[in-house]
C-alpha cells in the first residue's frame, strides 16, 4: 500500500480524514508532531529552530541568517519521515511532507480545504470562545503555518499544483473525501514496487548522510551533492568550493561520515577553484 500525505487546510478535518483513511486502508496514521519527536534521534533540536520562536523575529538578514539551520532542520525531519515511509503503509497529516517526499513515487499528495464557517463553529464549540475571537485565532494559525512553510521551504502550501487531490469540504463531506482518496490511492501510480522501495532507501541513506555532515562542525553548511546506493552500501559526495585545502576537506567529510551505518564504500570528490 502507498503513502498518503495530507496537507492541513483545517487541522480538525485533516485529522478526521487521516484517521478515516487509516481505518479504511489499514495504514499507520502519524502527524507532524510524531515525526518531530522521531526526528530528535537525528538531532533536530540542535538546529535551534522552533516555529513560534523563529516567526516572532524578523532581524536584518533574517532569511540568510537561518539558511543553514533551515537546511539542517529539513534534513532531520526528512530522515525521520523516510523512516516512517519505509516501515509500511502510511497516512501522514501535517504540512511539508508533500514537498519533502516529492522524490518518492508512491506518495499521494492531498490538500484539505474546509470552509471558514465550519472551522469557526467547531472551535467555538470546543473552546467556548466568541465568534470574533475564534475567527481571529484561526486566521492567526493559518498565517503561522503559511509563514513557517515559506520560511523552511520557500513554497506556497496553498498552490493546488503541488497536490494530486484537493478536497473542498464545502462541496464534499469528510466521509466522501475518504472514499475519493481511498479510490485514488489504489491506482497503479501509487503502488509500492521493489524499484520504488530501492529508490526510497537510497534517498533515506543520502539524507542521513546530509544530517551527519550538518551535525559536524567541520562540514556544517558545505554545499555538497550526495548520492547513495543503499543496497551496495555506497555513498558519493561531491563538492565544489572556491578556495580551501582539498585533502583537508575530503578528510573532514570522510571523518563526519565514518560512523554511517551500512556504508561499505565512501567516495568523496572535492573541486577547488
Query: Are 177 and 256 contained in the same domain?
Result: no
Measured distance CA(266)–CA(236) in Å, rounded = 6
Query: Are 60 and 132 contained in the same domain?
Result: yes
Strand order in the sheet with 225-229: 225-229, 234-241, 265-272
Measured distance CA(120)–CA(138) in Å, rounded = 8
Three cell numbers, residue 154: 520557500
Question: How confident is the model at residue 60, as a pLDDT?
Answer: 47
Measured distance CA(192)–CA(188) in Å, rounded = 9
Question: How confident is the model at residue 141, as a pLDDT?
Answer: 75
* CATH number of the domain encompassing residue 36: 3.40.50.300
Question: How confident is the model at residue 225, as a pLDDT?
Answer: 96
Residues spanned by the domain of 207: 194-272
Residue where one domain finishes, among candidates 164, 190, 216: 190
Query: Are 42 and 151 contained in the same domain?
Result: yes
Q: What is the pTM of this model?
A: 0.86
Residue where one domain finishes, among candidates 143, 165, 190: 190
Question: How confident is the model at residue 101, as a pLDDT?
Answer: 94
Residue where one domain finishes, among candidates 126, 158, 190: 190
Query: Are 172 and 228 contained in the same domain?
Result: no
Residue with cell 539524507: 207
Query: What is the per-residue DSSP string for the chain?
Result: --EEEEEESSHHHHHHHHHHHHHHHT-EEEEHHHHHHHGGGGTGGGG---HHHHHT---TTHHHHTHHHHHHHHHHHHHHHHHHHHHS-EEEESSSHHHHTTT-TTEEEEEEE--HHHHHHHHHHHH---HHHHHHHHHHHHHHHHHHHHHHH---TT-GGG-SEEEETTTS-HHHHHHHHHHHTTSGGGS--HHHHHHHHHHHHHHHHHHHHHHSTTTTT---EEEEETTTTEEEEEEEESSS-HHHHHHHHHHHTTT-TT-SEEEEEEEE-
Beta pairing, strands 90-93 & 265-272: unpaired
Per-residue pLDDT in tens (0 to 9) along the chain, 273 residues: 689 999 876 678 889 999 999 999 999 999 989 999 999 999 998 887 765 555 555 554 555 677 888 899 999 999 999 999 999 999 999 878 888 999 999 999 999 887 777 776 777 777 888 877 878 887 777 777 777 777 777 666 667 788 999 998 888 889 999 999 999 999 999 999 999 999 999 999 999 999 999 999 999 999 999 999 999 999 999 999 888 889 999 999 999 998 898 899 999 999 987
Query: Are 73 and 36 contained in the same domain?
Result: yes
Query: Are 93 and 212 contained in the same domain?
Result: no
The number of distinct structural domains making up the chain is 2
Query: Are 74 and 148 contained in the same domain?
Result: yes
Query: Are 49 and 143 contained in the same domain?
Result: yes
The vertex-213 CA angle with 236 and 83, nearest 5°, equals 80
Query: Nearest Cα to 7, choosing from 23, 19, 18, 22?
Result: 18
Query: Are 186 and 218 contained in the same domain?
Result: no
Amino acid at each position: 500500500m502507498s503513502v498518503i500525505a495530507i496537507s492541513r487546510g483545517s487541522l480538525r478535518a485533516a485529522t478526521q480524514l487521516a484517521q478515516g483513511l487509516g481505518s479504511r486502508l489499514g495504514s499507520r496514521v502519524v502527524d507532524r508532531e510524531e515525526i518531530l519527536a522521531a526526528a530528535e534521534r537525528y538531532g533536530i533540536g540542535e538546529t535551534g529552530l522552533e516555529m513560534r520562536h523563529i516567526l516572532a523575529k524578523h532581524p536584518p538578514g533574517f532569511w540568510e541568517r537561518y539558511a543553514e539551520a533551515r537546511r539542517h532542520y529539513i534534513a532531520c525531519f526528512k530522515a525521520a519521515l523516510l523512516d516512517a515511509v519505509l516501515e509500511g503503509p502510511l497516512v501522514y497529516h501535517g504540512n511539508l511532507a508533500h514537498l519533502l517526499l516529492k522524490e518518492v513515487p508512491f506518495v499521494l499528495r492531498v490538500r484539505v480545504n474546509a470552509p471558514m464557517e465550519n472551522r469557526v463553529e467547531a472551535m467555538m464549540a470546543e473552546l467556548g470562545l466568541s465568534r470574533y475571537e475564534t475567527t481571529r485565532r484561526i486566521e492567526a494559525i493559518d498565517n503561522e503555518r503559511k509563514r513557517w512553510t515559506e520560511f523552511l521551504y520557500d513554497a506556497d502550501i496553498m498552490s493546488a499544483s503541488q497536490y494530486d487531490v484537493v478536497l473542498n469540504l464545502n462541496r464534499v463531506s469528510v466521509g466522501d473525501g475518504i472514499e475519493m482518496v481511498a479510490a485514488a490511492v489504489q491506482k497503479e501510480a501509487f503502488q509500492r514496487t521493489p524499484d520504488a522501495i530501492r529508490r526510497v532507501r537510497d534517498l533515506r541513506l543520502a539524507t542521513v548522510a546530509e544530517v551527519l555532515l550538518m551535525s559536524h562542525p567541520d562540514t556544517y553548511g558545505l554545499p555538497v551533492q550526495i548520492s547513495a546506493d543503499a543496497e551496495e552500501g555506497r555513498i558519493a559526495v561531491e563538492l565544489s568550493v572556491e578556495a580551501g585545502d582539498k585533502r583537508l576537506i575530503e578528510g573532514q567529510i570522510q571523518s563526519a561520515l565514518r560512523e554511517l551505518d551500512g556504508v561499505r564504500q565512501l567516495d568523496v570528490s572535492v573541486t577547488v577553484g
